[in-house]
Amino acid sequence: MSKPKVFITRRWTESVEAKLRDLYDVTLNETDRPLSAEEFKSALQNYDAVCPTVCDSFPADVLNAPNKRCKILANFGVGYNHIDIDAAKANNLIVTNTPNVLTQSTADIAMTLLLMTARRGAEGDRLVRAKKWQGWCPTSMLSSNVTGATLGLIGFGRIGQAMARKAHHGFDMNIIYFSPREADEYVTQDLKARRCDMLEELLSQSDFVSLHCPAGASTKHLINAKTLKFMKPTAHLINTARGDVVNSQALIDALKTKQIAGAGLDVYENEPNLHEGFLELENVQLLPHLGSATLETRTAMGEKVLANLAAYFTDLPLPDRVV
């Protein structure tokens, strides 16, 4: 009996790729280059399963390709806003994802960005590398305290709560959050966290605002010219959620005019083609989507995909089905 044909759009960790080779008739993207829409269409037509990542775009035009052999998109990543879910449903395509394994690594990056923007880390690194540092001075590169400051979290799911624990127990930060639902009582007590009824309330009271909300129509450009005006001029914005939650031009304007003090970004609208206005600013810390980028986490994500594929090809319930 022939093995199912599986197409992998980008390189994965070695251990997971070895398992894929053993289990399936697998085609890997050996050059690890971004693929085109035509290549995605061809994959859908010639493979039993296609495994995209969050950097691969699967709009309706791709998913509507004729004569599809593929019946499952086993996504490598938690987010799936790069896949047109309505089109997937219309084409009877199953979509799965990889939740519950990148919580701590993403929260770590959020805290990294918070500390970088608060203490002007990347700016200081550039100063030293450019050989422009003149030595210690009482007023040189003054920055913001983290310990004891107020952290406002927009979205209070697993990653938001993990960041809150690091911030509260590690830096004695005060925790407030904006979320559709109250957190469990034990979480609230452990973190001394308070829920804000309105987004504007959270923005106006926070020294640091960290985004942990899902992508979607209701959250696109949630942070915009209007909402940024509620933030303190000493406040910092952190985004490790999704790029389109923030209106890039509005944030650039707010940083340019010192309407807010700084920002730390790991995700961007239209990434990797971020708005070039960010590159001109000193008061923004920019990382290349490193949230889940540890060997352990990326391997665990791959194992999640393997579990979804194994369930699909043996007609068992899919552990992480989205559609």
Active site positions, annotated: 242, 271, 289
In the numeric block, which tokens belong to residue 9?
A: 């759009």
Residue 139: partners with Cβ closer than 8 Å, 6 or more residues away:
none
| Cα→Cα distances 150→192, 234, 250, 322, Å | 12, 12, 23, 35
In the numeric block, which tokens belong to residue 306?
A: 């393997």
Q: Which residue type is seen at 247?
A: N
Tokens 């050059």 sit at which residue? 31
The greatest distance separating any two alpha carbons of the chain, rounded to the nearest whole angstrom, comes to: 74
Count CA atoms closer than 13 A to 232's CA, side-chain side. 16
In the numeric block, which tokens belong to residue 42?
A: 């061809």
In the numeric block, which tokens belong to residue 231?
A: 């933030």
